[in-house]
Amino acid sequence: MRLSASNGCEPRNLKTIMPQNVRLTSRDVPLIQLGVHQCRFPVSEDPSVPGGYRFCAGATSPDRVYCDHHHTIVTAVDPRRARPGLQIPQRRAA
């Protein structure tokens, strides 16, 4: 499905949609320029680059693909889905 004004869906810049996801330290680089330990969270659309997006490129730990800021956004739990009283039992040391 193509996005167009006729079907009520207009393409928008990601910064307009989710400005809270863009940090001041985001470098806004294309995927092809990202290094091994740089954040791959998309922060803006750019039709001039292959893939059409630019990414944060902030520093990441070796076991993650997102910086700390974007990792907390991606792993956030919707409070409506949290179930109070549900706890995972801890194993006791033998």
Residue pLDDT, tens place only, 24-68: 556 778 888 889 999 999 888 888 877 788 898 999 999 999 998
Q: State which residues form the domain around 47.
A: 5-74
User: What local confidence, expressed as pLDDT, does residue 20 receive?
Assistant: 58
Whether 51 is in a domain gets the answer yes
Whether 79 is in a domain gets the answer no
Backbone angles phi, psi at 18, to 5 degrees: -135, 70
Q: Which residues pair with 42 in a beta bridge?
A: 55
Whether 40 is in a domain gets the answer yes
Number of domains in the chain: 1
**Residue 16 confidence (pLDDT) above 70:** no
Whether 69 is in a domain gets the answer yes
DSSP class of residue 30?
E
Whether 83 is in a domain gets the answer no
Whether 58 is in a domain gets the answer yes
